[in-house]
Structure 1
Amino acid sequence: MAVVLGAYLITRPTTSLDVLAIAVGVGFVLQGVIVLDSEDEGPPPRRWESRARVAVAVLWVSAGVFVLLFLGLTVRLLAEVIAIALVANGILQLIGAFRRSLALDARIAAIAFGAASFGFGILAGFWPDITLLIAAVAFGAQLIISGIAEGRHALHGAPPERTSTARPLHRFARTTAAVVSLALVGAAGVVSIGLRGATPVVDEFYAAPRDVPDEPGQLIRSEPFSRDVPSNATAWRILYTTTRGDGSPAVASGIVVAPTEGIGYRPVIGWAHGTTGFAQPCAPSLLERPFASGTLFVLTRVIEAGWALVATDYIGLGTAGPHPYLIGRDSAHAILDALRASRQLTPGLIGGESVIWGHSQGGGAALWAGALAEDYAPLVSVEGVAALAPASELNRLITQLSRVRGGSVIESFALASFAANYHDVTWREYVRHGAEPIVRAISERCLTEPGVLISGLEGLALRRDPAVFKKNPLAGPFGARIMENIPPATVSAPLLVAQGEADELIPPRVQQAFIERIREAGQDVDYRTYPGRDHITLVYQTSPLMDELFAWSAERFAGVEGVAD
């Protein structure tokens, strides 16, 4: 029973909270029975040792009864109960390991098992995500170890004379299992330390000053930027004013890169990056690879073409949030205001003519920027909009994410964004109870940091259980807000939409529905598809799209009218 229950906890840690609490409560009781029933090899235990065993068993059983009586425990409290139980068990095992009656190999095994239990408990309580997943998996491992030990005693029994005469194979297996358990804890600890130190740090540059200009598109501050910048270019990190979709003022950051060669104004590529995360530290200008992290792999080629690049971080990435992930107007304003602010850097450097490129999340934002440019920023000359695998039909996209590898990560970003930006969208209404802490934890991860490995594991665990959403995300206020943020069919500039035919995240059928909708509304669009290209390889340097995209953009800068396919 212990082994089966432990395996269940390890493989299904994100089951509904009620079921998980029952499994943990029963597991605690089982662990107490095992402790009470187990017999160590060696001379008969002393009286205090027997009493200590009974005390440990009572503690386990009492904790189990407590959990079963109070199934309404919060996720955080349940994780803490598991963590405390593992730490206490580890301490008692370590104390028992120093009994004089134990043989050397048994003492080593007891020390290793005690240290492993203690270590699992510490990790369960202080893992960076602080989620129930780690606690449940740790206790599941403890149950499996205890169950195997109890099964061995049941099959072989203790030596009648209670001396240190365990079979060599059993003694070797016991010691090996203990050392392996301790090694796993050590490895998990190293990973934990690495994850804690891997998250980008938001520095003072992103803090808005008290005297922020009232007008959007104003440069607040700038400083030289060199990370991943080509040798034939000069770059700056910028902070500028913008507005949210409701008209309230906001501050955003970004990067401006310009060729060092040549004279006169440079035509501008306004870059809208793909998904990097929802949390504040996930701004591309903060990440180790500021351009590739947002799927821009051709910066060198942009500079060689004699063009400048203006890449917004969007609102809430780097600057104070919340980040409007997949929210159209806010994202479009950040793109257009970055273009306006960049002209204030160095006189005669950044030109007024621009072509907006965007990929994935940024593709949807680029569509919105093209639709709003004439009204919101009439002095920004948008010569063309290239939306590459754009997040266009959000209603179709959100309903198919659960079938995509890693889709739970995008779901977490979307729900975190809409819940933070719209008062009528709540976590409680849409996410099943047991999954909420995991989904919240995933939403705080950046896609490019090592911690995304944890998010990926959590996402896989979520997909083994029922869907993340407990109700149709298109129902109620979340669905209504999603529909509000579908890009409109009103892009006034020439429009190019590119789509990989092997894209699983945004399938061609979803993009085709968008193309048909905007064409029916009278929108001219140059729609191109690329066989064998998925969501990311579509924008690789080697993709056939790149030659076409540069040629198409050069025509826009040359004043050639765009022609629909």
Structure 2
Amino acid sequence: MPASRRPLVRRWNALPALTRNAPPRVLLIVGAVVVLLGALIVSRPLTSIVLLGVYVGASAVVMGVFELFGRSTRWWARAVAVAWIVAGVAVLVWLGRSLELLPSVLAVLLVIGGLASVGRAVTGGAISVRVLSLAWGIAQIAFGVLSFTWPDVTVLVLAVVFGVRTIVFGVGVFARGVGGIRRRRPRATPFDADRAVRRRRRRARWTAVGRYALSLVLVATAAGGWWLNDWLHEGAPVVDAFYNPPAEVPSGHGRLIRSAASPWRAPQNGDVTRILYTTRDAVSRPAVASAMVITPKDPPPGPRPVIIWNHGTTGVAQGCAPSLRDSTATRWAIPALEQALKAGWVVVASDFSGQGAPGAYPYLIGKGEARSSLDAVLAAAELRSDLTLSPDTVVWGHSQGGHAALWTTAIADDYAPGIDVLGTAVVAPVADPPALARELLSGPPNAMLSVITSWVLVPYSETYADVHLDDYIAEGSRSIVLEMTQRCPTEPGVVVSVLTALGVSEDRPLYSADLTDGALGRRLEENAMTEPLGTPMLVAWGADDEVIPPKLQREYIDKLCAEGQPVRWASYAGYDHLRPILPKSRFLPVLYDWTKNLIERKPQVVDGCGLR
């Protein structure tokens, strides 16, 4: 090989230089081992993350050393070489402290590698080589930047990129070993030499075609990645300035900070106002929350009864607040809403703290949910001078909101004594979080369950000092688990969470410990609400509920009845988890009549325990 070509080839990859003069049998062994290493990195990203870190870190240092002490004197080449060395050392050093930072460092390495490839494209050489080098550089930079945008998939992307590069290198080394063993050196004739020249020219042409084709694939892949990134971000909810609390907020809880008309669809018989107000979280820290206050268009005179609506699971990110989405103040999201407004009732629907307003979200954390709901009513009382709220309040909730509704009633007397809770209606409630966790985790793992588990584990670790996230997750998966909590189930980006969960589930489970054990298990038990509330209860669920097993609802009713709690209940055949609260549900007239009779103090059947 001409001397002028050696530096260029050397810069393409420093590792081949280490094996350039090795015997053929050594090349065979090294090639096979490297191929297996690459396959392990690609197929087992979490299991091999330490191996990936050591391999990439060491490779980056070696690459930088070869570049730095090579023949090139270009300043950019030396700058890239120093960057390789620094990044490689960072990988190796941080590896011993925390794998949490490894994906970010690996993304930086992709960018550095891309810059080096772009630099090589302008230094000379065959046109096809320069085009491929430029395309490869652009692709590496693009995916390095995208890795920062979607950090939970960084481990998977980088495992594939570095793993495939490792496999390709290993195959090349192995092929060199095979070629070295099979090589014979017969005396060449002029005819053989001429044929060899033609063969090299033909191979060079096809190689150039292959480089151009690969360049097109790389550019198209990078462009597709950016297009997909834009599409996913466009579908994400936007938290507007209304939800940003001021530097100073009113003292105490349940105080109105600001209000504004909702920009979203309103019910036929009511008006919707967004409010921002003070509250407290589950451990009594000051917090801010948002809510929707839905008032009748023409309310009758006198104080108006209040319905507290507690929404079901919408995700745990700040942007997942119901008040940020259209249709969440309509009959499609709140059961019997139009009937309630016609009756002159005011409906108060909290987002809960941490949704809409910044803060920790109390997912299935009873006191945090309940305080947000009760404080929303207190703040709504300050909203209009011409509308007075009655102390008479009935609490409704669905799914996670059923859990919140139970806790709202349980703490109302102590936390907000001015609110008189007449009764509690819950649909498919999560009354016993640890029982639900045991039921769900007893079945086969799936991607959506991994996402929902993150929605429980992360808020609990942010709320309770004794619950440590790293005690329950697989090594190297922190960024994956945390990012799952930053997407709402209604936005396109949740697909990334599901695909990531699918990708790593082929390797190992994301969660390495029993979620119902240890500090998390104890805190889940604390947030179960299986005690009698002392006021009338209405419990309903779909007999075909695919989210919360109906047997848990039956067990809950049995427990309440055994403890003397009056409870009216109903199970609806053919209904799934959501159907009982949707328009035309057979449950809605029952809910409305039961609530109306409570408010008007009319006698009705409040105890269905004898019907079990």
Q: TM-score range by the shorter chain?
A: 0.7 to 0.9
Distance in 2 (alpha carbons) for counterparts of 1:320 and 1:516: 39
Q: 2:396 aligns with which of 348, 352, 357?
A: 357
Instruction: Name the counterpart of 1:130.
Output: 151
Q: 1:22 aligns with which of 43, 47, 51?
A: 51
Alignment map for 1:124-163 (pairs within 5 Å)? 124=147, 126-127=148-149, 129-131=150-152, 133-141=153-161, 143-144=163-164, 147=167, 154=175, 161=197
Distance in 1 (alpha carbons) for counterparts of 2:277 and 2:112: 53
Instruction: Name the counterpart of 2:361.
Output: 323
1:116 equivalent in alignment to 2:139: yes
Whichever residue aligns with residue 190 of structure 1, its letter is W
Indicate if the aligned counterparts of 1:284 and 1:290 stay in contact, CA closer than 8 A.
Answer: yes
Distance in 1 (alpha carbons) for counterparts of 2:353 and 2:93: 46
Distance in 2 (alpha carbons) for counterparts of 1:232 and 1:178: 60
User: How much has 1:227 moved relative to structure 2?
Assistant: 1.1
Whichever residue aligns with residue 137 of structure 1, its letter is V
User: How much has 1:415 moved relative to structure 2?
Assistant: 1.9
Alignment map for 1:158-307 (pairs within 5 Å)? 161=197, 165-166=202-203, 174-193=211-230, 198-201=236-239, 203-207=241-245, 210=248, 212-214=250-252, 216-245=253-282, 249-264=286-301, 265-287=303-325, 290-291=328-329, 295-296=333-334, 299-300=337-338, 302-303=340-341, 306-307=344-345
Instruction: Name the counterpart of 2:126.
Output: 102
Indicate if the aligned counterparts of 1:67 and 1:73 stay in contact, CA closer than 8 A.
Answer: no
Indicate if the aligned counterparts of 2:43 and 2:507 stay in contact, CA closer than 8 A.
Answer: no
Distance in 1 (alpha carbons) for counterparts of 2:351 and 2:170: 56
Larger of the two Rg values belongs to structure: 2
Deviations 1:298-320 (A, max 9, x none): 64565456543210122232335
Distance in 1 (alpha carbons) for counterparts of 2:111 and 2:122: 18
User: How much has 1:68 moved relative to structure 2?
Assistant: 6.8
Instruction: Name the counterpart of 1:344.
Output: 382
Pair 319,99 (structure 1): closer, same or farther in 2 beyond 3 Å: closer
Pair 183,324 (structure 1): closer, same or farther in 2 beyond 3 Å: same
Whichever residue aligns with residue 454 of structure 1, its letter is V
Instruction: Name the counterpart of 1:491.
Output: 533
Alignment map for 1:2-81 (pairs within 5 Å)? 8-13=40-45, 15-16=46-47, 19-26=48-55, 71-72=95-96, 74-81=98-105
User: How much has 1:204 moved relative to structure 2?
Assistant: 4.9
User: How much has 1:57 moved relative to structure 2?
Assistant: 11
Helix, strand or coil at the partner of 2:522: helix
Deviations 1:35-68 (A, max 9, x none): xxxxxxxxxxxx869xx99x99999899889857
- Identity fraction in percent: 33
Indicate if the aligned counterparts of 1:432 and 1:469 stay in contact, CA closer than 8 A.
Answer: yes
Helix, strand or coil at the partner of 2:351: strand
Distance in 2 (alpha carbons) for counterparts of 1:450 and 1:500: 28
Instruction: Name the counterpart of 2:15.
Output: none
Q: 2:571 aligns with which of 521, 525, 529?
A: 529
Pair 351,83 (structure 1): closer, same or farther in 2 beyond 3 Å: same
Whichever residue aligns with residue 311 of structure 2, its letter is H
Distance in 2 (alpha carbons) for counterparts of 1:235 and 1:252: 17
1:393 equivalent in alignment to 2:432: yes
Pair 24,239 (structure 1): closer, same or farther in 2 beyond 3 Å: closer
User: How much has 1:119 moved relative to structure 2?
Assistant: 1.8
TM-score (norm 1): 0.81
Instruction: Name the counterpart of 1:43.
Output: none
User: How much has 1:518 moved relative to structure 2?
Assistant: 2.1
User: How much has 1:207 moved relative to structure 2?
Assistant: 1.1
Distance in 1 (alpha carbons) for counterparts of 2:200 and 2:436: 66
TM-score (norm 2): 0.76
Whichever residue aligns with residue 146 of structure 2, its letter is L
Indicate if the aligned counterparts of 2:291 and 2:351 stay in contact, CA closer than 8 A.
Answer: yes
Instruction: Name the counterpart of 1:557.
Output: 599
Whichever residue aligns with residue 138 of structure 2, its letter is A
Distance in 2 (alpha carbons) for counterparts of 1:303 and 1:59: 65
Whichever residue aligns with residue 468 of structure 2, its letter is T
Distance in 2 (alpha carbons) for counterparts of 1:420 and 1:262: 42
Whichever residue aligns with residue 359 of structure 2, its letter is G
Indicate if the aligned counterparts of 2:300 and 2:344 stay in contact, CA closer than 8 A.
Answer: no
Helix, strand or coil at the partner of 2:267: coil
1:93 equivalent in alignment to 2:127: no
Indicate if the aligned counterparts of 1:235 and 1:257 stay in contact, CA closer than 8 A.
Answer: yes
Distance in 1 (alpha carbons) for counterparts of 2:346 and 2:589: 18
Deviations 1:474-523 (A, max 9, x none): 32222221111111422233212222333343222333332222222222
Alignment map for 1:502-521 (pairs within 5 Å)? 502-521=544-563
Instruction: Name the counterpart of 1:370.
Output: 409
Pair 407,168 (structure 1): closer, same or farther in 2 beyond 3 Å: same
Pair 327,526 (structure 1): closer, same or farther in 2 beyond 3 Å: same
Pair 142,330 (structure 1): closer, same or farther in 2 beyond 3 Å: closer
Instruction: Name the counterpart of 1:333.
Output: 371
Distance in 1 (alpha carbons) for counterparts of 2:283 and 2:112: 53
Distance in 2 (alpha carbons) for counterparts of 1:388 and 1:145: 53
Instruction: Name the counterpart of 1:455.
Output: 497
Indicate if the aligned counterparts of 1:370 and 1:492 stay in contact, CA closer than 8 A.
Answer: no
* More deviation, 362-371/372-381: 372-381
1:382 equivalent in alignment to 2:421: yes
Instruction: Name the counterpart of 1:38.
Output: none
* More deviation, 245-254/159-168: 159-168
Helix, strand or coil at the partner of 2:117: helix
Indicate if the aligned counterparts of 1:270 and 1:356 stay in contact, CA closer than 8 A.
Answer: yes
* More deviation, 482-491/179-188: 179-188
Indicate if the aligned counterparts of 1:275 and 1:294 stay in contact, CA closer than 8 A.
Answer: no
Deviations 1:11-35 (A, max 9, x none): 543x24xx3120354467789999x
Q: 2:521 aligns with which of 479, 491, 498?
A: 479
Distance in 1 (alpha carbons) for counterparts of 2:244 and 2:55: 50
Pair 76,553 (structure 1): closer, same or farther in 2 beyond 3 Å: same
User: How much has 1:102 moved relative to structure 2?
Assistant: 2.2
Indicate if the aligned counterparts of 1:315 and 1:334 stay in contact, CA closer than 8 A.
Answer: yes
Helix, strand or coil at the partner of 1:396: helix
Indicate if the aligned counterparts of 2:53 and 2:95 stay in contact, CA closer than 8 A.
Answer: no
1:410 equivalent in alignment to 2:433: no
Count residues with an aligned counterpart. 545
Indicate if the aligned counterparts of 1:113 and 1:179 stay in contact, CA closer than 8 A.
Answer: no
Helix, strand or coil at the partner of 1:385: strand
